[in-house]
Amino acid sequence: MSHPLKAAILIISTSVAQGVSKDSSEDILRSVFEGEEEAGRWTVSDVKVVSDDILEIQRQIREWTDHEASGINLIVTTGGTGFATADQTPEAISPLIHKHAPGLVHAMLATSLSVTPFAMMSRPVAGVRNKSVIITIPGSPKGAKENLQAVIKTVPHACIQVAGADSRSLHAGGVKRLEKDAGIISLGHSSHDNSTAHHRGHKHEAHAHEHAHGHGHGHGHGHGHGSLVRHTKQGENPMSNDPSLGPTRRHRASPYPMLDVEEALALVSKHTPAPTVITSKVDNELVGAVLAEDVTASENVPAFRASIVDGYAVVVPKDGNMRGVFPVTAVSHAAAGEVGELKEGEVARITTGAPLPPGATSVIMVEDTVLKTMTEDGREEKEIEILADGVREGENIREVGSDTKDGSIILQKGEQVSSVGGEIGLLAAVGTATVKTYKRPVVGVLSTGDEIVNHDRPGHLRLGEVRDTNRPTLITAARGWGYEVIDLGIASDKPGTLEETLRNGMRQADLLITTGGVSMGELDLLKPTIERALGGTIHFGRVNMKPGKPTTFATVPVKNNDGERVSKVIFSLPGNPASALVTFHLFVLPSLQAMSGVSPVGLTKIPVSLLHEFKLDPGRPEYHRALVSVGSDGSLWATSTGGQRSSRVGSLKGANALLCMPKGVEPLQKGTKVEALLMSNVRLVL
């Protein structure tokens, strides 16, 4: 094949045609055509975008097929093959086809079906018009790639025949030659029917699919986490899959032992790096920080003797009898200033908080006095009469350092600066500008999976696409607990991409949270990437809990900027939104808190009563999302926040607690006491 075959790509998407969304299939399809494996067999000679409109689609196809000069050998359309009302691609293409090619359709469907049952929701057509082969593939980037890869090795043969080469000369070398020409590594079989199968075995990495991700789970197709049946014991091999080995060499079961939540938490505590000490400014950024030193006051509060009332500063005689008429010799306002020495028999008018004149020993409240005479202009007091006796020294005076003594400890190491304001207030009162605190870890959050699209991407989802729920959810949760968060975006399922994203994340963050890619599917690239590419250690990969069984905790040794070896923490949470948020609170939060010097770590545990009957999971302890409210008598009651399926992000709306439910067969009755882990404030309702 000296001349490359000419391919044309037709992107069928109204939103792309209108510029509302960006097309991502072109690059992916080009990479298949122009990739190394095809070794120059193809050239992509035209790419067009049209709306989901039958006439528009047909006009473009005809332009390619009905003019000899175009010389297009293969037309690949992407998009519009689903069941949505707008999907019209098969209806547009079918009438144009001169010879139908059900074999190509079969090959594409078989490939996709081996990955996900949702493939049956695709309606591809394929065939020949004039001298061009036409295939229709799905619009989702992953599905498109997979479908094209399913046929690209064999389709050149058809293209050459369609273009008019005589079939006898083509077949001269037999099927073996055809396979060789097509670049298919023959495994010794010579039948055509077997070639597709070889192809699939050898190109397994193309079968990228969302079923590796919890994101796709639980939408009613029966493989939620609750009802798995297992008949054999798990293997001993502690290492993750080597993604290059192919499906036949994969672990059939997770090689990680199933740990109880307590065992898993013990490992988190053991392998979370110790907190490091930094100097922090005393300002509102300090809220949430834990002090790494005792803080001593460097000055007295108050710094001077101050009056606590409006009245008159006096020098109390020995007998304490202050009755009589006194000249007002001075005025002391709260504003700082100089006041002369006060002598016995004189009084100085003073306002609340103002410094006492030197020599004054007490303050008489204005209520205990009567105005006697005024100055001539009538504007100032000249003399007042005091009606008090039994006055003692120090009355109505705040002594120097009576609130806080210079040198005393005002806050202790390990205390956390609250958002209530008391600690900041105390630090501010004594003029503390900086304190030593534990550095709070920076959190990096990423999602993995080619099927994940940004939550705010406009337009309808294509088959298989899933909006990224976890990243915004987890970023919010981590920020809500006071941690700085870096959004690391969505990493694709290619092994190199994930490694690069993780390395980049570890340069910026101390703890990474990834979601997706934690089940046993082919695309569980995370564990192999951590172990094989990053040299990290997986401390656990399965936890006996619901939801959240595939929760994974790993550490990766890296050198920091000073060349010291430090450890970065990676949590890989299940892709299901509810599982991700539950395991964040259960495992990630304690790790973040430990790194920040918070003690004790974890959510606050309180006993509550069930307000209604609760079903239990027969296999695993469950963390049930619930609303805990306080009754007028102070009793705490829990109600479920609804369907607890792990994909249901709605089960966390309005939840302020996770109820620790044991596994069991019989439901727990209304009124039963259970422990609740508080995620936020208890509300007063009922």
Ligand X SMILES: *[C@@H]1O[C@H](CO)[C@@H](O)[C@H](O)[C@H]1NC(C)=O
The whole-angstrom separation of Cα 12 and Cα 138 is 10
The whole-angstrom separation of Cα 358 and Cα 341 is 5
Helices 141-151 and 192-202 pack at an angle, to 10 degrees, of: 140
Indicate the residue among 131 and 398 with the shorter CB distance to ligand X. 131
Indicate the residue among 194 and 544 with the shorter CB distance to ligand X. 194
CB of 663 to ligand X, least distance (A): 48
Please choose, from the candidates 126, 10, 125, the residue with its C-alpha nearest in 3D space to the C-alpha of residue 62.
10
CB of 131 to ligand X, least distance (A): 7
CB of 103 to ligand X, least distance (A): 13
CB of 210 to ligand X, least distance (A): 31
Indicate the residue among 157 and 217 with the shorter CB distance to ligand X. 157
Residues 6 or more apart whose CB falls under 8 angstroms from that of 364 comprise 311, 312, 314, 322, 347, 386, 388, 391, 395, 396
CB of 67 to ligand X, least distance (A): 6
Reading the block at residue 214, the tokens are 């919890």
CB of 185 to ligand X, least distance (A): 15
Distance of CA 649 to the CA centre of its chain: 13
CB of 441 to ligand X, least distance (A): 56
Residues 6 or more apart whose CB falls under 8 angstroms from that of 343 comprise 315, 359
The CA-based diameter of the chain, rounded to the nearest angstrom, is 134
Size of the site for ligand X (CB under 6 A): 8
What is the DSSP code (8-state) at residue 422? H
Q: Which of residues 514-533 bind ligand X (CB under 6 A)?
A: none
What is the DSSP code (8-state) at residue 417? P
Q: Which of residues 64-123 bind ligand X (CB under 6 A)?
A: 66-68
Task: For residue 545, give the amino acid letter.
Answer: M
**581: exposed, middle or buried (Cβ count in 10 Å: 0-12, 13-18, 19+):** buried
Indicate the residue among 66 and 380 with the shorter CB distance to ligand X. 66
Residues 6 or more apart whose CB falls under 8 angstroms from that of 664 comprise 616, 617, 618
CB of 69 to ligand X, least distance (A): 9
CB of 122 to ligand X, least distance (A): 25
Residues 6 or more apart whose CB falls under 8 angstroms from that of 210 comprise 116, 142, 216, 449, 451, 464, 466
Indicate the residue among 159 and 339 with the shorter CB distance to ligand X. 159
Contact pattern from residue 125 through residue 154 relative to ligand X, giving x for each residue in contact according to CB under 6 A and a dash for the rest: -----x------------------------
Q: Which of residues 179-208 bind ligand X (CB under 6 A)?
A: 189, 191, 193-194
Q: How would you write 335-367 as a 3-class SS string? A: CCCCCCCCCCCCEEEECCCCECCCCCCEEEEHH
Q: What are phi and psi of 307, to 5 degrees?
A: -80, 145
Indicate the residue among 99 and 653 with the shorter CB distance to ligand X. 99
The whole-angstrom separation of Cα 212 and Cα 522 is 7
Indicate the residue among 24 and 196 with the shorter CB distance to ligand X. 196
Indicate the residue among 162 and 261 with the shorter CB distance to ligand X. 162
Q: Is it true that the peptide bond before 547 is cis, omega within 30 degrees of 0?
A: yes
Indicate the residue among 67 and 605 with the shorter CB distance to ligand X. 67
The whole-angstrom separation of Cα 331 and Cα 305 is 15
CB of 134 to ligand X, least distance (A): 12
For residue 673, give the 3-state DSSP assignment. Answer: strand
Inter-residue contact 347 to 400 (CB < 8 Å):
no
Reading the block at residue 278, the tokens are 């930094």
Please choose, from the candidates 682, 651, 668, the residue with its C-alpha nearest in 3D space to the C-alpha of residue 610.
668
Indicate the residue among 109 and 558 with the shorter CB distance to ligand X. 109
CB of 66 to ligand X, least distance (A): 4
Indicate the residue among 121 and 160 with the shorter CB distance to ligand X. 160
Indicate the residue among 101 and 556 with the shorter CB distance to ligand X. 101
Q: Which of residues 395-434 bind ligand X (CB under 6 A)?
A: none
CB of 106 to ligand X, least distance (A): 13
Indicate the residue among 21 and 194 with the shorter CB distance to ligand X. 194
Whole-Å CA distances, 358 to 315, 332, 348, 371, 594: 10, 11, 11, 24, 52
Contact pattern from residue 48 through residue 67 relative to ligand X, giving x for each residue in contact according to CB under 6 A and a dash for the rest: ------------------xx
CB of 192 to ligand X, least distance (A): 8
User: Which residues here bind ligand X, judged by CB under 6 A?
Assistant: 66-68, 130, 189, 191, 193-194
